[in-house]
């Protein structure tokens, strides 16, 4: 489901339409720094740590994952085909213009936005048009700032945009953002609801690092897993 919706998100067209192509796509929470996850296969030290957990890792965590790249056209045919194939593999079928799961329930969700954020509203509008081509019904739910904060604290959303600013000296706050214990704690920063013993272990190992090189390696391990990890919520970033 998450992969399909990422494939349908036509970043190149949206970026060109709204900014003239000025914004690079971020593929790492520590993008443009030595701590950022490198594209392609994990290097030897990172792979050595992740390999024992391979059975519990999402596909491509070790082999390498990259966000899909479109050709910039409004139709994004390759992305839509990829999304359709992914949904069909997961048991969804499109009939009469509506994507449905195995029980016949239509695939639909809401995008929670704060009122007055014109940029996010424009992005959501273009995204919704792409989803319609897959038979997915998505709609924007715009609420005032107070409601938005309360809904975020209660994890009461299907999809919502967020911007995360991380220090280049990540520490115990990583448990607040990605730790399993925070996933069900109202008001925590674990907005994607990730619960992974592997991520928990990587955070512990990162905090125990005693050299700059070890700290960098273990942060790469941590991000490679949390960037591609299983999420209960879908949040574009």
Q: What is the pLDDT of residues 105-135, one digit of tens each?
A: 999 999 999 999 999 999 999 999 999 999 9
Residues 18 and 96 in one domain: yes
My answer on whether 175 and 142 are in the same domain is no
The predicted pLDDT at position 49 comes to: 81
Q: Does residue 76 share a domain with residue 8?
A: yes
- End position of a domain, from candidates 155, 186, 201: 155
pLDDT of residue 164: 82
Say yes or no: 15 and 132 in one domain: yes
Q: Residue length, the chain?
A: 237
State whether 9 and 110 are in the same domain. Answer: yes
**Same-domain pairing of 20 and 113:** yes
92 plus 170 within the same structural domain: no
pLDDT of residue 237: 40
Angle between helix 118-132 and 11-19 (nearest 10): 140
Same domain for 202 and 130: no
Among 134, 155, 176, residue at a domain's last position: 155
Q: Are 99 and 107 in contact (CB under 8 A)?
A: yes
Q: Dump pLDDT digits (tens) for 210-226.
A: 777 766 666 766 666 66
- The CATH number of the domain holding residue 177 is 3.10.105.10
Report the distance separating Cα 86 and Cα 94, nearest Å: 12
> What is the average pLDDT score of the chain?
88
Neighbours of 77 (CB within 10 A): 11
203 and 237 within one domain: yes
DSSP string, 94-118: EETTEEE-TTS-B-EEEEEEETT-H
Q: Are 45 and 73 in a shared domain?
A: no
Domain final position from 155, 180, 199: 155
Distance between CA atoms of 191 and 187, rounded to whole angstroms? 9
Residues 151 and 168 reside in one and the same domain: no
Could you give the CA distance from residue 169 to residue 46 in angstroms, rounded to a whole number? 19
pTM, rounded to two decimals: 0.84
Range(s) of the domain holding residue 223: 30-65+162-237
Provide the β-strand partners of residue 95. Answer: 98
* Res 124: pLDDT: 97
Tokens of 29: 């929470």
Contact 18, 123 (CB under 8 A): yes
Is there a single domain that holds both residue 52 and residue 3? no
pLDDT computed for residue 168 by the predictor: 81
Low-confidence ranges of the chain (pLDDT < 50): 229-237
Total structural domains within the chain = 2
């Amino acid at each position: 489901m998450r992969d399909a919706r990422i494939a349908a998100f036509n970043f190149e067209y949206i970026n060109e339409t709204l900014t003239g192509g000025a914004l690079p796509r971020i593929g790492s929470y520590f993008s443009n720094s030595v701590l950022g996850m490198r594209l392609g296969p994990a290097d030897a030290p990172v792979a050595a740590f992740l390999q024992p957990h391979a059975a519990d890792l999402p596909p491509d965590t070790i082999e390498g994952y990259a966000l899909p790249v479109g050709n910039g056209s409004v139709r994004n045919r390759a992305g839509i085909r990829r999304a359709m194939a992914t949904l069909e593999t997961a048991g969804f079928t499109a009939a009469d213009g509506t994507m449905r799961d195995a029980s016949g329930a239509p695939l639909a969700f809401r995008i929670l936005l704060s009122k007055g954020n014109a940029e996010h509203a424009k992005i959501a509008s273009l995204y919704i048009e792409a989803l319609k081509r897959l038979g997915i019904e998505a709609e924007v739910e715009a609420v005032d700032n107070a409601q938005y904060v309360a809904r975020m604290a209660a994890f009461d959303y299907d999809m919502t945009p967020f911007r995360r600013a991380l220090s280049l000296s990540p520490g115990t706050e990583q448990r607040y953002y990605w730790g399993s214990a925070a996933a069900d704690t109202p008001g925590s920063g674990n907005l994607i609801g990730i619960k992974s013993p592997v991520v928990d272990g990587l955070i512990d190992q990162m905090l125990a690092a005693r050299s700059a090189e070890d700290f960098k390696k273990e942060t790469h391990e941590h991000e490679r897993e949390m960037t591609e990890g299983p999420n209960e919520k879908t949040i574009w970033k």
